Amino acid sequence: MFKFLKEVVAGSGTGLKDLPYNIGEPYASAWGSWLHFRGTSKDDGAPVSIFSLSGSNAQDGHLAAGRNGVKRLRTVRHPNILSFLHSTEVETVDAGSPKVTIYMVTEPVMPLSDKIKELGLEGSQRDEYYAWGLHQIAKAVSFLNNDCKLVHANVCLASVVVTQTLDWKLHAFDVLSEFDGNNETSSGQMLQYAWLVEAQYKSMELAKSDWAGIKKSPPWAIDSWGMGCLIYELFSGLKLGKTEELRNTVFIPKSLLPDYQRLLSSTPSRRLNTSKLIENSEYFQNKLVDTIHFMEILSLKDSVEKDTFFRKLPNLSEQLPQQIVLKKLLPLLASALEYGSASALALTALLKMSSALSAEEFCVKVLPTLVKLFSSNDRGIRVGLLQHIDQYGESLSAQVVDEQVYPHVATGFSDTSAFLRELTLKSMLILAPKLSQRTFSGSLLKHLSRLQVDEEPAIRTNTTILLGNIASYLNEGTRKRVLINAFTVRALRDTFPPARGAGIMALCATSSYYDITEIATRILPNVVVLTIDPDNDVRSKAFQAVDQFLQMAKQYYEKTNTAEDTEGASMGISSIPGNAGLLGWAMSSLTLKGKPSDNAPVSSVSSTALPPASANAGSVIDTPPTAPLRVRSAPDFAEQPVPTSPTSTDGWGEMENELDEECENDKDGWDDLEPLEEIKPTPALANIQAAQRRPVSQPVSQTKQAANLQSKSTSKLKKDEDDELWGSIAAPAPKTSKSFNLRSTVTDDDDDPWAAIAAPAPTTKAKPLSSARGRSAKPAAPKLGAQRLNRTSSGV
């Protein structure tokens, strides 16, 4: 029964074999008779520290003091006092004699003397770190003396340990006792285990055992003397040998010297209270102490103070000891971001600090916080994550991206902020390779189909570029269904010149994915039309593309004739290695202050915005561009009218409103654009094709007639063949005028197959044909305003 009660009082467990921790290698030093070991938890392998104290029998004085220390450490809690986890007492027989051992398990720590040697700090960085450590120990001592009315009685270098985050913590509570100052008449001993304290660390009254004087002195008198001993050992680098050595102040910093002398005053009542040391000492006023103190009380600061602090933090962190930044400041900053007390500006500081970490450390210490931040509703945090995704995106695993990151990032595709939509789009260049095919088809392609008709021309352009860059990650069936439709039907007919240029270059960059039939019937007819585009850069890119695709057709012809490659028709043109490089972003980033006009064409688009397709027969697109395009708000063509902005629903088939429902459907938004193969042209469409093959410089009368026939035959074609979107593969020749300026038109005919998916077709200044001319001609629509009415004699 007695043994059971002793185990309950001393700790928990029935023996060392039941200790839920593994004992590892010992440290070289420890306080008093204790031994300090490294250890790990048997449950999860978490690191711990294990202290052991042995005695010959249960009545040993060291064991009694050790039990007092364990009890005190378990009951006293403070951020700067060592955290207790577990304890047990074990009885064994060693060489025929009994042996009792106390085991105490705490958070993982290291003796201060060993940590100082490991860090190897010098100069101002050493002084700043020492100031921070002394500041922490002074707070722990002040808590014991002023708040708990306890006396530690043995503050020295050996009683201080350092955590993994480089925090200093006080332990060695074996001598700890209540301050019995109220009973001044009692002459009994106040500190029962004072004999454990080495003579050089005892204050003058404690060395004389003047208990009456001790009780009359303030409760901090003994521990203030101990703080002086700690300061001496810390700066001298030597263990205190005798009390007289404390008079040697050559090692003490000048800013700390007055406080050091007051701590070691010969009169106990005149010794400096550690709480005053914290508040008034000039020595504790430095960058490191101020920075860590601000981070610890961050939740009490207002938004202005936080923003000011985090703007300065990236530069400030370069002036602080790197080990302290990585092990102390970085965890504080990550925790503040994760729990919402830090602003979005802290994200920049976090990523800059973490750049010094190894890849393994980054994945353990920083990456989990970043993944959690993707679920934040703070728009500033989301913008910061997307702006810096190139710094950490490669460290994200495919599973984490597909399951945890992408679902939150995808909300940015439909955000009301154009700036956030653009950042979300650009982030896909890094995230898309890590997505599953189901996510590609069920979600990403649906979002891209909407962005390709976004109201912002820069977003439309960059969507086309992104499709070209991620084409290699699509499966073959999806590429066949999506790429040509997205690049020709959408991009090549966009009202924004850079978008048309991007469509051409995307076709060139993905040329290896098209077989000869697609090149001859679907790509070349649409690209040739742009050789007379009003924009010079678009025309230049169109000629380059025509040369490249014609060269591929010629190579196919030569191979077919010589029978060198019998699979050329089915496997594509392998001799032209397309997709060799990434397409660069063609548009400059949108700004939060304003957005570029949807209707602002660019007179000259840099050819380096996309990898140029060489006009040489054997050209290969293999160099990514570096120069971004600039969107100008003023139109370059004086007569160009303002085109209507595309909407998010035109021409992409039936789109469900909810993304969750869309994910159940494997369609990606380009299905409705897939042309039907091998449909014989109708007579009306044959007339259109004949008109397209005529020279551009036709007589005015023929131009008018072709335009009228095209308008009428298109309506008739829609009624006859409801499922045929493209009809003939060849694109209609653009209508021309003397100026070649683009004109946006609004078609009143809902049956026009181009109305929903293509940019408005250009119009001419030619007047419509009269109702008496043409086959199946319809009377012209009446004009607004006063009109002359032709009445017949029988009409009225």
Report helix, strand or coil for 62.
Answer: helix
What's residue 587's pLDDT? 53
Using the predicted structure, report yes or no on whether residue 384 has a pLDDT greater than 70.
yes
What's residue 39's pLDDT? 94
Asked if residue 656 lies in contact with residue 447, where contact means CB atoms within 8 angstroms, the answer is no
What's residue 563's pLDDT? 61
Selected residue with higher pLDDT from 536 and 574: 536
Mean pLDDT of 461-485: 92
How far is 88 from 93, CA to CA, in rounded Å? Answer: 17
Mean pLDDT of 233-245: 92
Mean pLDDT of 47-63: 88
**DSSP letters of 526-575?**
HHHGGGG-SSHHHHHHHHHHHHHHHHHHHHHHHHHHHTS-TTHHHH--TT
> Would you place residue 687 in the very low, low, confident or very high pLDDT band (cuts 50, 70, 90)?
low
Mean pLDDT of 82-90: 93
Torsion of CA 702, 703, 708, 712, to 10 degrees: 90
How far is 394 from 362, CA to CA, in rounded Å? Answer: 12
Query: Which phi and psi (to 5°) does residue 105 adopt?
Result: -110, 130
Using the predicted structure, report yes or no on whether residue 606 has a pLDDT greater than 50.
no
Tokens representing 339 are 């729990």
Q: How many residues appear in the chain? A: 796
Selected residue with higher pLDDT from 711 and 83: 83
Nearest to 610 by CA among 692, 517, 542: 542
How far is 441 from 663, CA to CA, in rounded Å? Answer: 8
What's residue 654's pLDDT? 35
* Per-residue model confidence as pLDDT tens digits over 119-149: 888 888 899 999 999 999 999 999 999 999 9
> Would you place residue 372 in the very low, low, confident or very high pLDDT band (cuts 50, 70, 90)?
very high
Mean pLDDT of 40-52: 93
Highest mean pLDDT: which range of 224-233, 572-581, 588-597, 680-689: 224-233
Query: Which phi and psi (to 5°) does residue 22 adopt?
Result: -100, 135
How far is 601 from 535, CA to CA, in rounded Å? Answer: 9
How far is 222 from 216, CA to CA, in rounded Å? Answer: 12
Selected residue with higher pLDDT from 681 and 394: 394
Query: Which phi and psi (to 5°) does residue 794 adopt?
Result: -95, -5
Mean pLDDT of 573-599: 47
Using the predicted structure, report yes or no on whether residue 314 has a pLDDT greater than 80.
yes
Using the predicted structure, report yes or no on whether residue 220 has a pLDDT greater than 50.
yes
Taking residue 17's Cβ as centre, other Cβ atoms within 10 Å add up to 7
Report helix, strand or coil for 221.
Answer: helix
Tokens representing 677 are 């193969």
Query: Which phi and psi (to 5°) does residue 17 adopt?
Result: -65, -25
What's residue 2's pLDDT? 39
How far is 403 from 407, CA to CA, in rounded Å? Answer: 7
Any residues with CB less than 8 A from the CB of 6 and at least 6 apart, and which?
Answer: 58, 89
- Residue with tokens 């200093």, as numbered in its chain: 168
* Per-residue model confidence as pLDDT tens digits over 713-749: 444 433 343 333 333 333 343 343 333 333 333 333 3
What's residue 224's pLDDT? 94
> Would you place residue 674 in the very low, low, confident or very high pLDDT band (cuts 50, 70, 90)?
very low
**DSSP letters of 440-457?**
IIIIIHHHHHHHTT-SSH
Q: DSSP label at 81?
A: B
Q: DSSP label at 295?
A: H
How far is 616 from 604, CA to CA, in rounded Å? Answer: 23
Q: Is 124 left (phi over 0), alpha (psi -120 to 50) or beta?
A: alpha
* Per-residue model confidence as pLDDT tens digits over 193-219: 888 899 999 998 888 888 888 888 899
- Look over the chain and give the mean of its residue pLDDT values, rounded to a whole number: 75
What's residue 14's pLDDT? 44
* Per-residue model confidence as pLDDT tens digits over 476-515: 889 988 999 999 988 999 999 999 999 999 999 999 999 9
What's residue 98's pLDDT? 81
> Would you place residue 10 in the very low, low, confident or very high pLDDT band (cuts 50, 70, 90)?
very low
Distances (CA, A) of 468 to 90, 198, 332: 70, 77, 42
pLDDT above 70 coverage of the chain, percent: 67
Any residues with CB less than 8 A from the CB of 76 and at least 6 apart, and which?
Answer: 144, 148, 150, 173, 176
Tokens representing 791 are 């009445």
pLDDT above 90 coverage of the chain, percent: 50
Taking residue 377's Cβ as centre, other Cβ atoms within 10 Å add up to 8
CA angle centred on 520, ends 502 and 723, rounded to 5°: 85
Give Cα 478 to chain centroid, integer Å.
29
Asked if residue 109 lies in contact with residue 162, where contact means CB atoms within 8 angstroms, the answer is yes
- For helices 303-317 and 345-354, angle between their N-to-C axes, nearest 10 degrees: 20
Asked if residue 331 lies in contact with residue 364, where contact means CB atoms within 8 angstroms, the answer is no
Mean pLDDT of 373-401: 92
Mean pLDDT of 619-647: 35
Mean pLDDT of 765-793: 40
> Would you place residue 99 in the very low, low, confident or very high pLDDT band (cuts 50, 70, 90)?
confident
**Where does 29-103 have alpha helices with state H?**
61-75
Which H or E run includes 106? Answer: strand 97-106
Taking residue 305's Cβ as centre, other Cβ atoms within 10 Å add up to 12
Using the predicted structure, report yes or no on whether residue 778 has a pLDDT greater than 50.
no
What's residue 670's pLDDT? 56
Which H or E run includes 47? Answer: strand 47-55
Tokens representing 705 are 């007639």
Highest mean pLDDT: which range of 92-96, 264-268, 664-668, 788-792: 264-268
> Radius of gyration (Cα) for the chain, nearest Å?
40
How far is 735 from 706, CA to CA, in rounded Å? Answer: 9
> Would you place residue 18 in the very low, low, confident or very high pLDDT band (cuts 50, 70, 90)?
confident
Using the predicted structure, report yes or no on whether residue 428 has a pLDDT greater than 70.
yes
Using the predicted structure, report yes or no on whether residue 612 has a pLDDT greater than 80.
no
Using the predicted structure, report yes or no on whether residue 602 has a pLDDT greater than 80.
no
What's residue 418's pLDDT? 92
Any residues with CB less than 8 A from the CB of 384 and at least 6 apart, and which?
Answer: 344, 345, 347, 348
Asked if residue 501 lies in contact with residue 605, where contact means CB atoms within 8 angstroms, the answer is yes
Asked if residue 537 lies in contact with residue 608, where contact means CB atoms within 8 angstroms, the answer is no
Using the predicted structure, report yes or no on whether residue 47 has a pLDDT greater than 90.
yes
* Per-residue model confidence as pLDDT tens digits over 704-717: 444 444 444 444 43
The residues facing 92 across adjacent strands are 99
Using the predicted structure, report yes or no on whether residue 368 has a pLDDT greater than 70.
yes
**DSSP letters of 146-173?**
IIS-EE----SGGGEEEETT--EEE---
* Per-residue model confidence as pLDDT tens digits over 330-362: 999 999 998 888 888 999 999 999 988 999 999
Taking residue 597's Cβ as centre, other Cβ atoms within 10 Å add up to 15
> Would you place residue 52 in the very low, low, confident or very high pLDDT band (cuts 50, 70, 90)?
very high
Taking residue 792's Cβ as centre, other Cβ atoms within 10 Å add up to 6
Using the predicted structure, report yes or no on whether residue 659 has a pLDDT greater than 60.
no
Using the predicted structure, report yes or no on whether residue 422 has a pLDDT greater than 70.
yes
Distances (CA, A) of 432 to 322, 401, 442, 610, 755: 35, 9, 13, 20, 31
Mean pLDDT of 386-397: 92
Report helix, strand or coil for 10.
Answer: helix
* Per-residue model confidence as pLDDT tens digits over 140-188: 999 999 999 999 999 999 999 999 999 999 999 999 988 876 665 444 4
**Taking the CA of residue 489 as centre, how many other CA atoms within 13 Å lie in the half-sphere pointing to its CB?**
27
Using the predicted structure, report yes or no on whether residue 691 has a pLDDT greater than 90.
no
How many H-runs (helices) and E-runs (strands) does the chain carry? 33, 10
Asked if residue 523 lies in contact with residue 561, where contact means CB atoms within 8 angstroms, the answer is no
Report helix, strand or coil for 369.
Answer: helix
Q: DSSP label at 326?
A: I
Asked if residue 99 lies in contact with residue 93, where contact means CB atoms within 8 angstroms, the answer is yes
Report helix, strand or coil for 703.
Answer: helix
